[in-house]
Structure 1
Amino acid sequence: MACMCGVPVEVRATVIPIVIYWVYSGLYMALEYTGKYQLRRRQDGGDKNLASKRQMINPGCAASTNQPRLKIFGRLVAALLVMDTWQYFLHRLMHANSLLYRYSHSKHHRLVAPYAFGALYYHTPEGLLLNTAGGFVAMAVTGMPPCAAMVFFSLVAMRTVDIHCGMWVPWHPLNLLFSNNTAHHELHHQPDGSDFNFSQPFFVFWDRILGTQLPYTVGKAEGGGFDLKVTKKA
């Protein structure tokens, strides 16, 4: 089954084992503190470990501290650019190729008016190719340390939700930081805008460079909310 309870299988396959690992480990940690089930005497164990529990919890960030912070930040920014490049061209290909669109990407475009948890509504192969593979390519190209990768994948997840949420939040810090936003992607999901605004999830420079950006304005609507209007064809 590709999707259950609105959560794609590749997301569950990634998240569930991690959750089980930490919850299951936590149960044993709770038993350890009771002092009733130790296989060794407590005083003979913990002091002899060459790695602390803190290192177990956060090994990636501990390893990253030896690298210059500016270098780590530079690799993170590079990863964002790689991810945007990967997604723009694959996304555009999925629209240009009738077979890819009909049998794969059209599922995502059933959402003409997207909402937050509909961001990952797509065929499993598309998700693996567009998102999962894109993330690993960004990691491989930039050589991000694990701590930076954690921030990177968190930003990818947050921006994917942001651009599909269907709401305009002017003060949202990530909307101020990144040029891509809900309005830009909302137009792409409209029937008359599906040939534009392929960029996602951070920037819009490929749309601008290659002439696929659909300009728009956002203004307050009477009665609350915001109006999204196209100003002219790209």
Structure 2
Amino acid sequence: MSNVTDKACLFSKLINGADIEQIKSAVRPAAVAVPRPSFFKGYSDEVAALALPIIAYWTYSSIFHIMDVYKLAEGHRIHPTEEMLKKNRASLYEVVRDVILQHIIQTITGVLAFNLNVQEYTGFENAEIWDLRQKFPLLPAWFFYVAYWYLIPASRIFTAFVIIDTWQFTLHRLMHLSPFLYKHFHSRHHQLYVPYAYGALFNNPVEGLLLDTVGTGVASMIVNLSQRECMILYTFSTMKTVDDHCGYSFWFDPFQRLFPNNSIYHDIHHQHFGIKYNFSQPFFTFWDNLFGTRFTAIDSYTDKNGKITLKGYKKFLHDRTDKRRKIAKEYNMKFHEISGSEDEEDSPENPLNKNKVQKKNE
């Protein structure tokens, strides 16, 4: 009985009974616009929209950092700690410093943008829902209430996801196609060969501004999100980006379960063999599929559902390393000579590319 009561209480919080009665009424509810009170007492929604993503970034990153330090989830790590310490070319100090700088730039940009926003009002919502119901009187009042307060905002935020993905894929791929942009801007992020949570926003400041701050801001303006919807979008996007760089793969992680673009998908892009693939970020992979830039060499290692699991990815990495060691031994070369940088992989002098070059010449 108590379980039923609890569910009823939860439902009543999601749907206000008094509002439903007004929407059902034959008389249009009064529409009196009053300034919307802030969600957090003492802090405006504009301040919250700017502060929450930063708080979320450092809080969520710290959880993964604690896992790293105390080795709490080694079985879920994509790469061993030793590999992270050996291959990454940026120190933790540099990473934290640059992320703080990006957050400062992000905050200043947000303050300037929010200064252009007008005061948001409330008190007219039931009247608008009532108007909608008059067009479709056969549908129940609660349907319009749920659509107005939950489904429509969710669809706007989802649309913002797609816009962010489009923006970031375009700029991200451009920075890889242009040697100048890669060398002077994007290469900084790739100093983290083995990604970790704090390094999610480790970027050149110009790239961070254009790719993340402006991209998310443009999406929110195009879709015309409210300040509270901006809170959700900015915070969720930040946490998703951190999760993509966390260095762990958890089957129960909602970010990794809900989205095809996850920590393993993005880790492939950080490896020298995948640096020209998997440009999509941070939510979906449809642009990579459309432009043929999805890394497909791992497809034979996916599970029965076509998903890349941690076990499958580790087997792929092991088999790839084993293959390269055998080739190095066959050609009497040092292993690092055929497994280092992207340039070495693409070089026709590399014995791994010998067959490719021969076929191309034929």
TM-score with structure 1 setting the length: 0.71
Q: List aligned pairs for 1:18-57, cutoff 5 A.
A: none
Q: Quick check: 1:5 aligned with 2:97?
A: yes
Tell me the equivalent position of 2:259: 178
CA deviation vs aligned residue, 1:75-120 (integer Å, no higher than 9, x gap): 1110000000000010000000110000010010111101000111
Query: 1:4/1:170 Cα in 2 relative to 1: closer, same or farther (>3 Å)?
Result: closer
Query: 1:4/1:185 Cα in 2 relative to 1: closer, same or farther (>3 Å)?
Result: closer
CA deviation vs aligned residue, 1:139-190 (integer Å, no higher than 9, x gap): 1111111111111111110111011111111110121111110010000000
Larger radius of gyration: 2
Tell me the equivalent position of 1:148: 229
Tell me the equivalent position of 2:196: 115
| Unaligned residue ranges in structure 2 (runs of 5+) | 1-93, 111-118, 129-147, 299-307, 321-362
Q: Quick check: 1:220 aligned with 2:301?
A: no
Query: 1:136/1:227 Cα in 2 relative to 1: closer, same or farther (>3 Å)?
Result: same
Following the alignment from structure 1 to structure 2, what is the Cα–Cα distance between the partners of residues 165 and 4?
15
Q: CA deviation at 1:135?
A: 0.8
Tell me the equivalent position of 2:167: 86
**Over the residues paired in the alignment, what is the CA RMSD in angstroms?**
2.9
Q: Are the counterparts in 2 of residues 119 and 164 from structure 1 also a CA contact under 8 Å? A: yes
Following the alignment from structure 1 to structure 2, what is the Cα–Cα distance between the partners of residues 9 and 138?
23
Q: Are the counterparts in 2 of residues 64 and 145 from structure 1 also a CA contact under 8 Å? A: no
Higher strand share: 1
Residue identity in the other structure for 1:154: T
Please give the secondary structure, in 1, of the residue aligned with 2:273: helix
Q: CA deviation at 1:124?
A: 0.3
Q: Quick check: 1:192 aligned with 2:283?
A: no
Q: Are the counterparts in 1 of residues 244 and 282 from structure 2 also a CA contact under 8 Å? A: yes
What is the total number of aligned residue pairs between the two structures?
Answer: 186
Please give the secondary structure, in 1, of the residue aligned with 2:316: strand
Identity of aligned residues (%): 37
Higher helix share: 2
Query: 1:182/1:219 Cα in 2 relative to 1: closer, same or farther (>3 Å)?
Result: closer
Q: CA deviation at 1:14?
A: 4.5
Please give the secondary structure, in 2, of the residue aligned with 1:193: coil
Residue identity in the other structure for 1:114: P
TM-score with structure 2 setting the length: 0.47
| Unaligned residue ranges in structure 1 (runs of 5+) | 19-58
Q: Are the counterparts in 1 of residues 261 and 281 from structure 2 also a CA contact under 8 Å? A: yes
Following the alignment from structure 1 to structure 2, what is the Cα–Cα distance between the partners of residues 91 and 64?
43
Query: 1:148/1:99 Cα in 2 relative to 1: closer, same or farther (>3 Å)?
Result: same
Query: 1:228/1:203 Cα in 2 relative to 1: closer, same or farther (>3 Å)?
Result: farther
Answer with 169-178 or 7-16: which moved more: 7-16
